[in-house]
Copies of this chain bind each other. A is one copy, B any other.
Amino acid sequence: MMKNKGRMIVVSAPSGCGKGTILAEILKDDSFFYSVSATTRAPRVGEEDGVNYHFISNDEFEKLIAEDGMLEYAKYCDNYYGTPKKILEEKMNEGINVILEIEVQGAMKVREICPDALFIFIVPPTISELERRLRKRGTESDDVIAKRVSEAAGEIQKAVNYDYILVNAALEDAVEDFKTIVKAESMKTACSKNLIDEVLKNA
């Protein structure tokens, strides 16, 4: 059977929803590739080139823009941030799904450029549970937690603009649900254009 092209998967979630942990589990599977953003800002202490970001010069970034090499980009505080396109296309052509971890606004921008991408929004089981998790960390003040919870509530309302809503109640289930979505999507008629021809070969 001919291999399907890999899928572009855009993942968003409010902070504290366990998105990073879920993606770390997903990425243990070779059929997924994590898209590392490029930026012109200087690396911070502990940041690694190619892991946290691809740290490139202003000239390199602008050359990529000019060559249509960025899927999307934005400039904040005089620094460019963007998603290099070439590697994503290469991986997808190999049948590998590429994961873009971006915030709601960026995700909606990608939706316009890549309507075929898959949009998954991760939510906590309840907002009270999110608050409980943030408190349990014990790293932030009550004020900061209240602010985060209120921001999360606002973001979660944007989930309606995504294709799927994944509830992270338990890590293992959430990881399985994520894979279930991707597997089911691969059986969609729209993703199986060559499949009917394959089945009917020699008919």
A contact residues vs B (CB 8 Å cutoff) = 1, 121, 123-128, 149, 153, 156-157, 159-167, 177, 180-181, 183-185, 187-189, 192, 195-196, 198-203
Residues of B with C-beta under 8 A to A149: 203
Distance, CA A160 to CA B189, complexed state (A): 6
Of B159, B183, B199, the residue contacting A180 (CB under 8 A) is B183
Q: Taking the nearest CB of chain B, how far is it from the CB of A148, in angstroms? A: 12
Q: How many copies does the complex hold?
A: 2
Distance, CA A192 to CA B177, complexed state (A): 14
Distance, CA A187 to CA B153, complexed state (A): 19
Q: Taking the nearest CB of chain B, how far is it from the CB of A16, in angstroms? A: 13
Distance, CA A181 to CA B1, complexed state (A): 20
Distance, CA A149 to CA B196, complexed state (A): 15
From known contacts A181-B187, A184-B183, A202-B127, infer whether A195 and B165 are also in contact, taking CB-CB under 8 Å: yes
Distance, CA A180 to CA B188, complexed state (A): 12
